Amino acid sequence: MKTQKSTPTSESGKFIWPLLIATVITLFLFYIDEGYHNFRWMLNVGNWIAFLFYVAVIYGVQLLLTLPFFRFAPKFIIAATKFILIILAALFLTFIVFR
């Protein structure tokens, strides 16, 4: 019976990649909506509070969608489905928040 070693990098990657994706998506949305195609929104503290809220919501949705669902699936299905679900969740949240 073979045991599979779990590296700290792969375990932390489960949490770092969704956080990075949530941050990039939120930066793009704030660039378009709050900053009117510039980064002047970064000068306002209130916008940073909203930014952190949106990152937390998108990150939380990603974790809720990915962690329980992918516990027993093969690796290639995990990668493909994770990509699709994260994109769909981000688009859904974008349309809900910015309609």
Q: pLDDT tens digit string along 40-77?
A: 888 888 888 999 999 999 998 888 877 776 666 677 66
Q: Does residue 4 sit within a domain?
A: no
Segment 4-42, tens digit of pLDDT:
555 555 667 778 888 888 898 888 888 888 767 777 888
Instruction: Label residue 71 exposed, middle or buried (CB < 10 Å: 0-12, 13-18, 19+).
Output: exposed
Residue 58: burial class (beta carbons within 10 Å; 0-12, 13-18, 19+): buried
Q: Is 36 left (phi over 0), alpha (psi -120 to 50) or beta?
A: left
Listed residue (25, 8, 13) closest to 63, CA to CA: 13
- Cα separation, 34 vs 50, in Å, equals 10
1, part of any domain: no
What's the total number of domains in the chain? 1
Determine the structural domain holding residue 56 and report its residue range: 13-97
